[in-house]
Chains A and B, each alone.
Chain A
């Protein structure tokens, strides 16, 4: 039984980068990932991993490349019984999207109690893990222990232990808007003409990403697509519009509503929760309306 879990943090880190780069990693990559490491320690760590048979070693263009060995089921569940092998195969098949326990049961044809036992055993061996799904809090999916859950399961940067971080999103939303607003006025009466002005008031997602990163408000690394997600919320807030450049990249510009707030929202009835109950007679009438009273006092 080979466990690819190592107890020391250095090996862990190396494994992580290796997982992210299925094509393999070089010495340099490892040094970049764990910079505060003496070369002796590094060599020791790598040797240990090689010994465990985690890596394949290649020579590519004069430099050494370590690649994570494809894990075959036989290796992983050495010494396991047939049931475990079947379940393991199903879980491996599902990849980093995971598989729901019900689907395992249906497809493996195992009885409920037996399946639970098998899963428990695999879990205790740290071969598989259970991951909570973000968009269905009670749903658990199983995947191989060493896999990073897919975004659709983990929710990506916006989730901390399956909890949606709305405050974080709000802050990013506001910061993005600030960035766009800083350049929004460039289009107005630009002496060089409106097209140039418009270009100056546009921002690409990459620019916004850089701004956000430089602000240092996020301790998670935000990908460009994360920033696009935030910028799109601004579009849905009606505070930005997006255009597509000829090269296909999306650009954003801060805008105002076409009209100032209309009459309806300037009167109490426009925001009144009782407006549909309001009649000419009865308890809720315009004559005796408390909201009107308050409004007329100002």
Chain B
């Protein structure tokens, strides 16, 4: 009992004599056992052998063919050309191959897709929106609201404020709409090929690095 108490208080648990009595010579106890246990302890059981027959071989071949096929189609979306800062002879050819593929658009049933994904979508919508702004009726309407406001201001200051609020609110709505459109347009701009080819925020470079450095090779 007493021993337990002392152990808790810290300090040596055994005196030198006690250690010697146990057959441990001076300095011997610190020598070993400092290595951590292995990260991968020995497996107690091995996995069972993989079942492999002619059918498996067939499936493996078919699977590789399917993946290879996908990689050749636009379904496999490739990032824009990345450079690692070193010019290579092969770059030119890689670029050519990439360009050839980039021209292609994935073959889809477009009516079953949301309009925003359809190939011609961005162009159509941009032009239609421009037209909307040019539209005489829209301009007229806008002018009219402004005019109304002026007349209101001039005329009855005492007149129902609620009405005034109403118009202001409506105006705000209009403004928001315009802002919205502008924002969308900007996004679409980003989507054109031109912007893409120039766009490089530098992050890509890092990513590439990460992928290459997948850990030590054994």
* In the complex, A touching B (Cβ < 8 A): yes
A residues with CB within 8 A of B: 260-261, 265-268, 270-274, 283-285, 287-291, 293-295
B10 at the interface (CB under 8 A from A): no
Q: How far is the CA of A271 from the CA of B43 in the complex (A)?
A: 8
Q: Mark B21-51, 1 if CB is under 8 A from A, else 0.
A: 0000000000000000001110111111111
Closest to A274 in B: B40
Chain A residues with Cβ under 8 A from B49's Cβ?
266
One of B40, B47, B51, B215 near A290 (C-beta < 8 A): B40
In the complex, given contacts A266-B49, A268-B43, what are 19 additional A-B residue pairs having Cβ atoms less than 8 angstroms apart?
Answer: A265-B47, A265-B48, A266-B48, A266-B51, A267-B50, A271-B46, A272-B43, A273-B43, A274-B40, A283-B39, A284-B39, A284-B40, A285-B215, A288-B215, A288-B218, A291-B40, A291-B43, A293-B218, A295-B47
Q: How far is the CA of A267 from the CA of B218 in the complex (A)?
A: 21
Closest to A272 in B: B43
Cβ of A287 and Cβ of B40 under 8 Å apart? Answer: no
Chain B residues with Cβ under 8 A from A290's Cβ?
39-40
Chain A residues with Cβ under 8 A from B44's Cβ?
271, 273
Residue of B48, B214, B218 with most partner-chain A CB within 10 A: B48
One of B40, B43, B47, B215 near A266 (C-beta < 8 A): B47
Q: Is the interface of B mostly helix, strand, loop or mixed?
A: loop
Closest to A281 in B: B215
CB distance from B137 to the nearest CB of A (A): 57
B216 at the interface (CB under 8 A from A): yes
16 contacts between A and B (CB under 8 A): A265-B48, A266-B48, A266-B51, A267-B47, A268-B43, A268-B47, A270-B47, A271-B43, A271-B44, A273-B43, A274-B40, A284-B40, A287-B215, A290-B40, A291-B40, A293-B218
Cβ of A271 and Cβ of B215 under 8 Å apart? Answer: no
CB distance from B45 to the nearest CB of A (A): 5
Cβ of B214 and Cβ of A271 under 8 Å apart? Answer: no
Q: How far is the CA of A288 from the CA of B50 in the complex (A)?
A: 21
Chain A residues with Cβ under 8 A from B43's Cβ?
268, 271-273, 291, 294
Given contacts A271-B45, A271-B46, contact A289 B51 (CB under 8 A): no
Chain A residues with Cβ under 8 A from B50's Cβ?
266-267
Closest to A288 in B: B215
Given contacts A287-B214, A293-B218, contact A273 B41 (CB under 8 A): yes
Q: Which 7 A-B pairs have the closest CB atoms?
A: A290-B40, A271-B45, A266-B50, A261-B48, A266-B48, A268-B47, A265-B48
Chain A residues with Cβ under 8 A from B45's Cβ?
271
Q: How far is the CA of A274 from the CA of B216 in the complex (A)?
A: 20
Cβ of B39 and Cβ of A260 under 8 Å apart? Answer: no
Closest to B38 in A: A290
Q: How far is the CA of A231 from the CA of B44 in the complex (A)?
A: 28
Chain A residues with Cβ under 8 A from B46's Cβ?
271
Q: How far is the CA of A284 from the CA of B44 in the complex (A)?
A: 18
Chain B residues with Cβ under 8 A from A261's Cβ?
48
Q: How far is the CA of A266 from the CA of B45 in the complex (A)?
A: 11
Q: Mark B182-218, 1 if CB is under 8 A from A, else 0.
A: 0000000000000000000000000000000011101
Closest to A260 in B: B51
Chain B residues with Cβ under 8 A from A287's Cβ?
214-215
Closest to A289 in B: B40
Q: How far is the CA of A283 from the CA of B40 in the complex (A)?
A: 10
Q: How far is the CA of A288 from the CA of B44 in the complex (A)?
A: 19
Chain B residues with Cβ under 8 A from A267's Cβ?
47, 50
Q: How far is the CA of A260 from the CA of B53 in the complex (A)?
A: 14
Closest to A295 in B: B47
Chain A residues with Cβ under 8 A from B48's Cβ?
261, 265-266
CB distance from A280 to the nearest CB of B (A): 11
CB distance from A64 to the nearest CB of B (A): 64
Chain B residues with Cβ under 8 A from A272's Cβ?
43
Q: How far is the CA of A260 from the CA of B50 in the complex (A)?
A: 11
Chain B residues with Cβ under 8 A from A266's Cβ?
47-51
Chain A residues with Cβ under 8 A from B218's Cβ?
288, 293
Chain B residues with Cβ under 8 A from A293's Cβ?
218
Q: How far is the CA of A271 from the CA of B41 in the complex (A)?
A: 12
Give the residues from 33 to 80 in chain B that come closer than 8 angstroms, CB to CB, to chain A: 39-41, 43-51
CB distance from B133 to the nearest CB of A (A): 49
Q: How far is the CA of A270 from the CA of B50 in the complex (A)?
A: 12
CB distance from A264 to the nearest CB of B (A): 9
CB distance from A272 to the nearest CB of B (A): 8
Chain B residues with Cβ under 8 A from A270's Cβ?
47
CB distance from B144 to the nearest CB of A (A): 61
Q: How far is the CA of A289 from the CA of B44 in the complex (A)?
A: 16
Q: How far is the CA of A283 from the CA of B38 in the complex (A)?
A: 12
Q: How far is the CA of A52 from the CA of B159 in the complex (A)?
A: 131
Q: How far is the CA of A284 from the CA of B41 in the complex (A)?
A: 12
